[in-house]
Amino acid sequence: MTHQLDGKAAFITGGASGIGEATARRFAQEGARVVIADVADDLGRRVCEEIKQGGAKALYVHCDISTPDSVRQALEQAVERWGRLDIVFANAGIAGVWAPLEDMRPDEWEKTLRTNLEGAFLTLHFAIPYLKSAGGSIIVTSSVSGNRTFGQPGAAAYSTSKAGLVALTKMAALELARYGIRVNAVCPGGVPTRITDALESRNTEEIPLHVEMPEGNPALHQGVGQPEDIADVCLFLASDQSRHVSGVEIYVDGGASLLI
């Protein structure tokens, strides 16, 4: 039986949890050799072991996407292990601090942008040399936030990082087309994951924004998705099914962001 990602090797940042974890499992089911790159070592190793117990090939590497040397080394380890690189999922991210702009400290702003936006840049920067020879697929996790929705009080740093990721995706798609590398973004709506565990919210009630869904929410599943809903779209973007797709952002939110 053939699978969609047979013979491919995939590098997944933030693969220890949530959307990255579901995508690592999905890619592995479809025959890919996966590398889970994360800072959550215990979680990442556990996911990796479970994937291996299911009969697929997986490797865990410690990787802090906000540190150039860490990303470079993680990619080196990945290519050393599987001998190739075909799919890069630049997915790791943090919610960061949500606060009114005048309350948000510059170091808080900087941490969110450095992790979410520069982290994706570093992932692409160090992955491109490995992808150039045979082409491949890069998928970036952006969000509805910063692209279609702007109604989360205090989320300016997060939303700005996610808007920047769509611009990065489009610039990279054009620049890398000559190597046969496709670059696309996935923009999830609300998905229950661990991302909100470390969210620090401060004085956001001072921002007079109150968004209410109208009666009879028209979005699919009330707009709430599961990590697996995002993983299936990532599988499409990683596979040859999307061979003529590059430079797009795909909203995966059941249609909710059309309304709010």
Query: Which residues are catalytically annotated?
Result: 158
Write phi, then psi, for 9 (nearest 5 degrees): -120, 135
Closer residue to ligand NAD in complex, CB, 40/235: 40
Alpha-carbon distance of 138 to 141, in angstroms, equals: 10
**Helical (H) or strand (E) element with 140:** strand 136-141
**Can you spell out the DSSP letters for 196-227?**
GTT-EE-SGGGS-----PPSS--SGGGG---H
Chain positions 210 to 249 lying near ligand NAD, rule: CB under 6 A, are: none
Residue 19 carries which side chain, given as an amino acid letter? I
Nearest residue by C-beta to ligand NAD? 18
Piece of 126-134, 175-183, 187-195, 200-208 that binds ligand NAD (CB under 6 A) = 187-195
How many positions of this chain bind ligand NAD (CB under 6 A)? 28
Single residue of 112, 115, 159, 242 touching ligand NAD by CB under 6 A: 115
Chain positions 92 to 111 lying near ligand NAD, rule: CB under 6 A, are: 92-94
Q: Is 38 in the site for ligand NAD (CB under 6 A)?
A: yes
Q: Is 19 in the site for ligand NAD (CB under 6 A)?
A: yes
Strand, coil or helix: what is 45? helix
- Burial pattern 95-117, b for ≥16 Cβ within 10 A else e, equals bbbbbeeeebeeebbebbbbbbb
Tokens found for residue 21: 């974890």
**Can you spell out the DSSP letters for 61-129?**
EE--TTSHHHHHHHHHHHHHHHS---EEEE------EE--TTTS-HHHHHHHHIIIIIHHHHHHHHHHH
Chain positions 131 to 170 lying near ligand NAD, rule: CB under 6 A, are: 141, 143
Minimum gap (Å) between residue 172 Cβ and ligand NAD: 16
Closer residue to ligand NAD in complex, CB, 17/169: 17
**Helical (H) or strand (E) element with 141:** strand 136-141
Minimum gap (Å) between residue 58 Cβ and ligand NAD: 15
Minimum gap (Å) between residue 169 Cβ and ligand NAD: 13
Tokens found for residue 245: 């797709």
Single residue of 24, 63, 131, 168 touching ligand NAD by CB under 6 A: 63
Q: Is 181 in the site for ligand NAD (CB under 6 A)?
A: no
Binding site for ligand NAD (CB under 6 A): 13-14, 16-20, 38-40, 63-66, 91-94, 115, 119, 141, 143, 188, 190-191, 193-195
